[in-house]
Amino acid sequence: MAPNLTTKEELLEANRFLNSILNGIKDTMMVVDRDYRIEEVNESFARKAGKPKHELLGKRCYRLVHHLNKPCVYNHPCPVKDAFKTGKTAEVFHIYFEGPKIAYSRIIAYPILDDRGKVTRVIELERDVTEWKKTGDHLYNMQKLAFLGKLAAGLSHEFNNPLGVILGFTDLLLEKMERDTQSYEILKTIERQAFNCKRIVENLISFAASPDLTRYSTDVNANLEKVVSVVMDILRTEKIVVEKNLAENLPKAKGNPEHLRQVFMNLITNAVAAMRGGGLLTISTRHNSPKNRIEILFKDTGHGIKQEYRNEIFDPFFTTREVGEGGGLGLSVSYGLVSKNDGEITFETVTEEEDRENKGTTFIVSLPVAS
């Protein structure tokens, strides 16, 4: 009997159609059996794995993807395992630390049931949601900053009055005290700490201030030179070498010069704190032509930012410094000032544990070119 060519052609066409659907899905996709062996993958999965499809089929997913000897356990929740166990769709959110960068993935596992309702296979889809997460975090931070700004405005005025009284009476008592006495030193300590409180209050007021709608344009290189000249003695004392790579003919950036100098000062201060005992601070500027933005980079050779702190460093009052070394407002204030000018601050970091030779942190301030 002659073979049914129409049926063969239809099967081949159906197979091509299914493959085009699988490969048209840009999320990575794999199908695994109950032994966690990979039965099918799409082109996105093979491209991410860096191997041809035929080398992936038959491999156990936990060994190929996570380099484990058994199915993923507590520290890495497995939606495939949950889908096999419950017979229901399972979803997890994974965080990956890829050197100095953080990546986020949303993973969904869909169970395939037979006629008796038993799970025979699971389809796993993984989507990179890093950009979506960053956008969501940015909006969340802006809302949080707005709320904290209102709170800070009220608190700052309440603090200013008693601080003024403390500083006033301290100044009167200092005039009556002889120098080089214990009482004089105690009063100077009180004065010094009161000024520290005053500085925190000023930061709170700056943090709470409404956006300045006045249009500014500023020479980034000139403002950097001013800030560096102010702190150069401190940098020398701390045995920190400064290397400047400032782009020539840099367009002016959108931003209030005073605000930007405060941002630059905060970022340099942070770098100094990260390089106790000395190091190299590289300050660079460049014009990102495709995005029409000015980028300012502060790269230190310090200890880097630990993974558990990377999502918190822009939070107000978050600090890893010792008591008395700072209130943790510098980065959050800088974030607020840059955001007011449609700018952003990002960072890249490598800890000593991750790579001793390349440890350090780079903060990148990105500002629109002034119109």
> Which has the higher per-residue pLDDT, 223 or 137?
223
Tell me, what's the pLDDT at 66?
78
Instruction: With residue 93 as reference, give the H or E element that holds it.
Output: strand 90-98
Is the pLDDT confidence value at 245 over 50?
Answer: yes
Tell me if residue 295 falls in helix, strand or coil: strand
Burial class of residue 220 (count of CB atoms within 10 Å of its CB; 0-12, 13-18, 19+) = buried
Residue range 16-33: average pLDDT? 82
Is the pLDDT confidence value at 130 over 60?
Answer: yes
Under 8 Å between Cβ of 305 and 313: yes
> From the centroid of its chain, how far is CA 44?
27
Rg (CA), the chain: 29
Residue 226: closest CA among 196, 254, 264: 264
Integer angstrom CA distances of residue 365 from 138, 253, 306: 15, 11, 21
Which of 79-93, 147-161, 238-252 is predicted with the least confidence, judged by mean pLDDT? 147-161
> Which has the higher per-residue pLDDT, 71 or 58?
58
Which of 1-5, 121-125, 133-137, 271-275 is predicted with the least confidence, judged by mean pLDDT? 1-5
Is the pLDDT confidence value at 9 over 70?
Answer: yes
Can you tell me the distance from the alpha carbon of 358 to that of 99, in angstroms, rounded to the nearest whole number?
Answer: 11
Integer angstrom CA distances of residue 115 from 81, 120, 219: 21, 10, 71
- Kindly state the tokens that stand for 224: 């950097």
Burial class of residue 13 (count of CB atoms within 10 Å of its CB; 0-12, 13-18, 19+) = exposed
Tell me, what's the pLDDT at 323?
39
Is the pLDDT confidence value at 155 over 90?
Answer: no
Q: Is the overall model pTM greater than 0.85, yes or no?
A: no
Tell me, what's the pLDDT at 200?
67
Integer angstrom CA distances of residue 177 from 86, 163, 165, 172: 78, 21, 19, 9
Tell me, what's the pLDDT at 220?
92
Half-sphere exposure of 210 (CA within 13 A, CB side): 2
Is the pLDDT confidence value at 318 over 90?
Answer: no
Residue range 322-328: average pLDDT? 44
Residue 98: closest CA among 128, 75, 74, 71: 128
Tell me, what's the pLDDT at 136?
67
Residues 184-224: tens digit of each pLDDT: 888 888 888 888 777 766 665 655 555 454 557 889 999 89
Residue range 33-47: average pLDDT? 88
